[in-house]
Every structure is written in C-alpha cells, then in structure tokens.
C-alpha cells in the first residue's frame, strides 16, 4: 500500500527562517548572510565593512564556525557585539541557530546583523536563515574557476565580492573568465573588486550594502 | 555534504507517516531531489544504508527521482530547463532569470505493508 507523505524536508528550516524574517522586519534590522570558503577573508571583510558603516548603523555579528571562538573575539575587540555559534561539526548554519543567536543580541538597538556562515561553498546555500541578503566572497588565490565548481552559491548570491585583489600579481586569476562564469549563473549580482586588507573597493561595496539596508525596511 | 543530516530527517518523516498508517513493514521510500540542490543521490543512498538498520525502515528501498533545474526568464517569460552551470534564458539569452524548479527535496510517498488492509499482493 502506498502512503502519500508529500513532506518537504527543508520545510522546518524554511518555517524557522520565515519566523526570523518577521522578527527582523518587526525590529527594522537588516541581516546579511556572508558565504565563502575558509580563508577567503570573511572576518577581515566583515571588519572592513563595519569600519565603513559603523558611524551610520548599529551593527552586530553572528559568527558561525564548526569550533572555536576566535572570530567572535576578533569582532568584540572592535567594540561590536558578537555571538559565536559552534555548529559542532555541521557544515552550515540553520535558521534555528540564528533564532537563538538573535535571543542573545540587543535587536532593539541594532540596524544590521552580519552573519558569517561556516566556511563552505556548498552546504549553506540550501539553508535559508531569514536574511535580507546573501553575498559570496571569493578571494583571488582561490582561482577564477570556482563558479564552475560551486555554481549554486554564485547563482543565489545578491552580490559577489572578489577579495584580495591586491595580491592579483601573484596569481593567474583570469577576471574576464570569472566574470563570464558568474554571469552565466547570475545576471543581477554586482561584482565588487576589493581588498579588505588595503581597503581598496570597500567603500563601493559598503554603499551597496547601505542601499540595501535603507531600501526595503520591513517588507 | 550534509546528506547524513538530510537523510535523518527523511527517515524521521517516513517512520512517522508509516506508524500513523499502522504499517508493519516499509518496502520503498520515494524522494524527489532537485538537481540544483547540493545533495548527491549516491550519498543519500549511502546515508540511507547507514541509518536504516535497526529502524522500522530497515530493508526499505530508497527511490530517488531527480528533477532538472528550471527557471523563468524575466525578460521574455520563457520557462526553460537548465543545468547547474548556465541559467541564462535558452530562448533570448537573457541573464535575468528566476529559479522555479530543481531545488526541491521532498518525500513523495512510501510503500508499506499494512495488516488487514484488504489489498494483498499490491506490491
């Protein structure tokens, strides 16, 4: 006998993400989900973004890592509230973890929460967190072929940050090929050339983010 | 990469639905998995073999139907199938498209034995 189940396996996460979205809209807080591989410069980029926007916005950070507290500590050193989530082996953040992290943040006194997802170009794509926007950071040393190897993340990203362009002279990174393969997947995401270390290009990226924070307040 | 966790969720859904129906045995479990997900059918199969022994789903066959990526062109309105690597409109070449299929992960149905259900030998 056949029993109809018709169960969406991601439904639980999607429902929790929708709850997060409502909560953020209610508090007029914008959440940014930052995706990248380990070592792409997520934390450095987040710190550079904070430096560019902290005069205008009240910012907090949620740090997702399999283990350790080093990233949250780094952020706190800059006087920014930070919550560390240790996934204990899980390869991505899920909406319920974000909901609990929100409990630990003063949402009433915030405009922007930056979520640093677990360093991984595959799994986080599948799990909506309730964020207002998702971005991907790729660094020059990783190579221009990454959109060909990890298409999903480049397809869903609303902005692509090409980080470590100050190191371009040391690597054979073909920017035209990179842009072309991103465009096959994603017709709308702007690609920002930047270096979180030197500050090059950070202002342009930060302006884009500021526009997003201002635009759809409480949809 | 997270096939094991996903398979645990599938297993829980299957066991719940089967128990509700009073099933004595689970013969087959049918999933639809979109090709735009990061889920590899072989890995799901492997996870299923690892997780089901000792559960009511032990011995049940996992049948996976893959659905292709499908998008809507925001310029010309064409709906088209595509692979993971190129989502541009196949009709007009437009890059502004919206995914409408291929990201699903569904437990469709299960085939079970139910005592006295009056339909012996169906499977």
How many Å apart are CA A89 and CA B72, to the nearest integer? 36
Q: Which residues of B touch A (CB under 8 A)?
A: 1-2, 5-6, 9-10, 13-14, 17-18, 21, 23, 36-39, 84-88, 94-97, 99, 104-114, 117, 119, 122-123
Kindly determine whether residue B122 and residue A1, on different chains, have CB atoms separated by under 8 Å.
yes
Q: B51: which 2 tokens?
A: 């997780």
Nearest-CA distance from A91 to chain B in Å?
Answer: 7
Q: B26: which 2 tokens?
A: 């689970």
Suggest the residue from B17, B38, B96 to mutate for an interface test with chain A (most A CBs closer than 10 A).
Answer: B38
Kindly determine whether residue A187 and residue B88, on different chains, have CB atoms separated by under 8 Å.
yes
What is residue B119's predicted lDDT score, i.e. its pLDDT? Answer: 56
How many residues in chain B?
123
Q: Count chain A–chain B contacts defined by CB atoms under 8 A.
A: 98
Instruction: Domains for chain A: give ranges and CATH numbers.
Output: 11-214 (3.40.50.300)
Residues 6+ apart with CB under 8 A from A39: A119, A139
Residues 6+ apart with CB under 8 A from A181: A144, A145, A147, A148, A154, B85
Contact A138, A146 (CB under 8 A): yes
Residue B123 has pLDDT above 50, yes or no: no
DSSP state of A215: T
Q: Is A183 on the interface with B (CB under 8 A)?
A: yes
Q: What's the Cα-to-Cα distance from A6 to each of A21, A122, A168, B63, B108, rounded to whole Å? A: 25, 26, 49, 14, 5
User: Sorting pLDDT into bands at 50, 70 and 90, what band is B118?
Assistant: low
Residue in the structure block whose two tokens are 């899980």: A90
Instruction: Classify each residue of A183-218 as buried b or exposed e, where b means 16 or more C-beta atoms within 10 Å of its C-beta.
Output: bbbbbebebbbbbbbeeebbeebbebbbebbeeeee
Q: What's the Cα-to-Cα distance from A124 to each of A2, A94, A156, B16, B26, rounded to whole Å? A: 34, 8, 11, 27, 32
Decide: helix, strand or coil at residue B94.
coil
The ranges of chain A with pLDDT < 50 are 218-219
A8: closest chain B residue by CA: B106
The angle subtended at Cα B69 by Cα B37 and Cα A20, nearest 5°, is: 50
Nearest-CA distance from B56 to chain A in Å?
Answer: 15
Q: A131: which 2 tokens?
A: 């964020």
ipTM for the complex shown: 0.81
Residue B122 has pLDDT above 90, yes or no: no
Decide: helix, strand or coil at residue A207.
helix
Share of chain B above pLDDT 70, in %: 93
Summarised one tens digit per residue, pLDDT across range B65-106 is 999 999 999 999 999 999 999 999 999 999 999 999 999 999
Written out in words, the top-level CATH class of the domain with range B3-68+103-113 is alpha beta
Contact B109, A202 (CB under 8 A): no
Sheet order of strands, A82-86 included: A82-86, A59-65, A112-116, A30-36, A133-139, A159-163, A191-193
How many Å apart are CA A207 and CA A213, to the nearest integer? 10
Nearest to B68 by CA among B87, B86, B82: B82
Residue in the structure block whose two tokens are 């987040």: A46
Which of A3, A123, A181 is facing B18, going by the closest CB pair? A3
Q: Is A176 on the interface with B (CB under 8 A)?
A: no
Q: Average the pLDDT over each of A32-41, A84-93, B1-10, B112-121 and give the range with the smallest value.
A: B112-121
What is residue B2's predicted lDDT score, i.e. its pLDDT? Answer: 82
B94: closest chain A residue by CA: A187
DSSP state of B60: P
Instruction: Classify each residue of B74-99 as buried b or exposed e, where b means 16 or more C-beta atoms within 10 Å of its C-beta.
Output: eeeeeebebebeebbbbeeeebebeb
């Amino acid at each position: 006998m056949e029993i109809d189940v018709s169960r969406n396996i991601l439904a639980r996460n999607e429902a929790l993400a929708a709850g997060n979205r409502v909560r953020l809209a209610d508090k007029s807080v914008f959440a940014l989900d930052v995706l990248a591989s380990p070592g792409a410069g997520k934390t450095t980029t987040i710190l550079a973004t904070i430096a560019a926007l902290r005069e205008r916005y009240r910012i907090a950070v949620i740090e997702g890592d399999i283990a350790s507290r080093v990233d949250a500590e780094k952020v706190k050193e800059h006087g920014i509230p930070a919550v560390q989530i240790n996934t204990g082996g899980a390869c991505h953040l899920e909406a319920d973890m974000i909901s609990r992290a929100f409990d630990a943040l003063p949402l009433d006194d915030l405009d922007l929460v930056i979520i640093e997802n677990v360093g991984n170009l595959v799994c986080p794509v599948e799990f909506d967190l309730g964020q207002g926007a998702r971005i991907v950071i790729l660094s020059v040393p990783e190579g221009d072929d990454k959109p060909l190897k990890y298409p999903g993340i480049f397809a869903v990203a609303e902005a692509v940050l090409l980080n470590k362009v100050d190191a371009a002279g040391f690597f054979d990174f073909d920017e035209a090929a990179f842009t072309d393969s991103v465009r096959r997947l994603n017709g709308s995401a702007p690609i920002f050339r930047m270096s979180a270390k030197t500050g090059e290009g950070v202002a342009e990226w930060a302006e884009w983010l500021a526009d997003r924070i201002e635009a759809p307040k409480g949809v | 990469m997270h096939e094991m966790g996903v398979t645990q969720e599938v297993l829980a859904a299957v066991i719940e639905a089967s128990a509700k129906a009073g099933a004595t045995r689970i013969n087959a479990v049918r999933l639809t998995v979109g090709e735009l997900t990061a889920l590899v059918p072989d890995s799901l199969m492997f996870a299923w073999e690892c997780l089901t022994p000792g559960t009511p789903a032990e011995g049940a066959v996992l049948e996976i139907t893959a659905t292709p990526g499908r998008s809507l062109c925001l310029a010309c309105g064409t709906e088209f199938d595509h692979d993971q690597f190129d989502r541009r409109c196949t009709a007009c070449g437009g890059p502004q498209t919206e995914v409408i299929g291929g990201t699903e992960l569904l437990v469709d149905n299960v085939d079970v034995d139910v005592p006295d259900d009056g339909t012996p030998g169906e499977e």
